[in-house]
Amino acid sequence: MQISPAGGGGDSQSHPGKEQQAAGVGILLQIMMLVLSFVLGHVLRRHRFYYLPEASASLLIGLIVGALANISNTETSIRAWFNFHEEFFFLFLLPPIIFQSGFSLSPKPFFSNFGAIVTFSILGTFIASVVTGVLVYLGGLIYLTYRLPFVECLMFGALISATDPVTVLSIFQELGIDTNLYALVFGESVLNDAMAISLYRTMSSLKSHAPGQNFFMVVFRFLETFVGSLSAGVGVGFISALISFSAGLDIDNLQNLECCLFVLFPYFSYMLAEGLGLTGIVSILFTGIVMKHYTYSNLSENSQRFVSAFFHLISSLAETFVFIYMGFDIAMEQHSWSHVGFIFFSIIFIGVARAANVFSCAYLVNLVRPAPRQIPVKHQKALWYIGLRGAMAFALALQSVHDFPEGHGQTIFTATTAIVVLTVLLIGGSTGTVLETLQVVGDDHDGPLSESLDGNNGYVAPSYNEDATSGNRLKMKLKEFHKSTASFTALDRNYLTPFFTSQNGDDEEEHGKIDYHQNVT
């Protein structure tokens, strides 16, 4: 958790003034790059220049500054003050990003597509991780790529399956993409991070223990990590809602108290999970979902405006800094570029795995959805194309340097960083053109999916065929799961919302509509 120069040495101890000056120069440079990134992003967004999204601009700024530092006399001091440990990412940068993602998931469009989002983010991420890991392993066996042990290939498949479409979501809003497609992309990316990090931690634990563990032990470890972290996050979220509701904190003169509690609970959830040996990122994600849906309603209007602005601010700062750092790292660090083939074939394998993820999950979702609400092929192609890699993949790759043997970890880190940079710059910059080519631009709220949302929180009950044959058992099971999603919606509206908040279900639904439109404008 150090944010100090990596190479202090005796010289810096004998010249404390120079060390302090180097610290000032490094921090000043970071602030200048953040300011430049936000200003440039605003200019690009104002002029609707979609070929260079904000995240791409931040990454390019880091690349340029890193390249200039490499040929200047300030290289040593600048490199030292950018040499962060992975703990800094997991404790200070990722928590606000992940919490803000979960905090934005409460509006109606996300819950109306909850079944599809869970399918893509849980089952789809598992499929993508396994397919990527197996292809990388087979590529090593036939000498196409750098050869890694099978468990390490699965770890790489898990970390590189974490998607981060922050680059394209702003383009979605500008172009007026269908609300349900936006919800699928955003919702998948949020829960996908939780799934990816749980898979990575499970495989890492398997690698560090005896290699003879059976399949059921691996499944148990994954469920222990994922379900335990989810339970901790949901539990803390409900506790915060209960405290805010019972204490009557929606009083204007208690604004400072309720804001402080609201800000502290997410980090309490994160540290609780980490202290229990679980995954703090998963915990804080579900804390954000629960707190937005319940605790947020118990705050006064002034406090609601403050906490929304506060978490949006710190998440924007953190995410922008991550992209700047990735660009800077590419230019400054000594990467293992001797295995360029590993990077090239990994990109191909990721594309294949993403296709297996999207099209198989879309097929399952469409089995239980009525015709008006099925995911169109053009939306499936859009989902496949915009599966960018970002902050979570980079942070896990940074950790892999210590989790993998020497040489393997550096290769994985170099490949991941290169993949993130290429997908953000190339795919992010071409997203607008591809969406126009696929003819998904301009759907917005009037698209065919949005029209079919009914009063039951957007869920349209599928028709059941009592005379279904055994060949339709899978379809019937999926319909039962879809039906249970609607049952949970009714449970939330009739019992959970009145118990944990000062609003009834109808008020909460209307509030979700208003808040969603505030988020996308």
Q: Which two tokens stand for residue 236?
A: 């803390």
**Is 80 contained in some domain?**
no
Provide the 3-class DSSP secondary structure of residue 163. Answer: strand
Provide the 3-class DSSP secondary structure of residue 390. Answer: coil
For the stretch 125-150, pLDDT in tens is: 999 999 999 999 999 999 888 889 99
**Is 62 contained in some domain?**
no
**Is 61 contained in some domain?**
no
**Is 127 contained in some domain?**
yes
**Is 521 contained in some domain?**
no
- C-alpha 85/C-alpha 87 separation (Å) is 5
- C-alpha 462/C-alpha 396 separation (Å) is 40
With cut-offs at 50, 70 and 90, classify the pLDDT of residue 409: confident
CB 128 within 8 A of CB 357: yes
With cut-offs at 50, 70 and 90, classify the pLDDT of residue 297: confident
pTM strictly above 0.95: no
Give percent helix, percent strand, percent coil of the chain, each to the nearest 5. Answer: 80, 0, 20
- C-alpha 114/C-alpha 120 separation (Å) is 10
Instruction: Tell me what the pLDDT averaged over the chain comes to.
Output: 77
For the stretch 38-91, pLDDT in tens is: 999 888 888 878 778 888 888 899 888 888 877 765 555 555 555 556 677 778
- C-alpha 136/C-alpha 153 separation (Å) is 6
With cut-offs at 50, 70 and 90, classify the pLDDT of residue 501: confident
Q: Identify which of 423, 282, 409 has the alpha carbon closest to the alpha carbon of residue 335.
A: 409
**Is 77 contained in some domain?**
no
pLDDT confidence of residue 463: 40
Q: Identify which of 356, 333, 355, 317 has the alpha carbon closest to the alpha carbon of residue 416.
A: 333
Question: Is pLDDT larger for residue 262 or for residue 189?
Answer: 262
Q: What is the DSSP string of 21-49?
A: HHHHHHHHHHHHHHHHHHHHHHHHHHTT-
User: Letter for the amino acid at 155?
Assistant: M
Q: Which of 3-12, 445-454, 483-492 has the lowest mean pLDDT?
A: 445-454
With cut-offs at 50, 70 and 90, classify the pLDDT of residue 514: very low
Q: Which two tokens stand for residue 365?
A: 């979702």
Provide the 3-class DSSP secondary structure of residue 142. Answer: coil
User: Letter for the amino acid at 314?
Assistant: I
pLDDT confidence of residue 8: 45
pLDDT for residue 277 is more than 70 = yes
pLDDT confidence of residue 467: 44
pLDDT confidence of residue 372: 82
Q: Which of 4-18, 144-158, 300-314 has the lowest mean pLDDT?
A: 4-18
What is the domain extent for residue 107?
86-438
Total domains in the chain come to 1
User: 287: how many CB neighbours lie within 10 A of its CB?
Assistant: 34
Q: Identify which of 158, 164, 121 has the alpha carbon closest to the alpha carbon of residue 136.
A: 158
**Is 150 contained in some domain?**
yes
**Is 59 contained in some domain?**
no
Provide the 3-class DSSP secondary structure of residue 274. Answer: helix
pLDDT confidence of residue 465: 44
For the stretch 304-313, pLDDT in tens is: 899 999 999 9
Q: Which of 133-147, 275-289, 381-395, 476-490 has the lowest mean pLDDT?
A: 476-490
CATH of the domain at 350: 1.20.1530.20
pLDDT confidence of residue 84: 59
pLDDT confidence of residue 74: 54
CB 157 within 8 A of CB 133: yes
For the stretch 83-115, pLDDT in tens is: 556 677 778 888 898 888 888 765 567 777 888
pLDDT confidence of residue 137: 94
User: 309: how many CB neighbours lie within 10 A of its CB?
Assistant: 10
pLDDT for residue 461 is more than 50 = no
Alpha helices in 369-445 (DSSP H): 377-385, 391-403, 408-422, 428-437
Alpha helices in 176-214 (DSSP H): 179-208
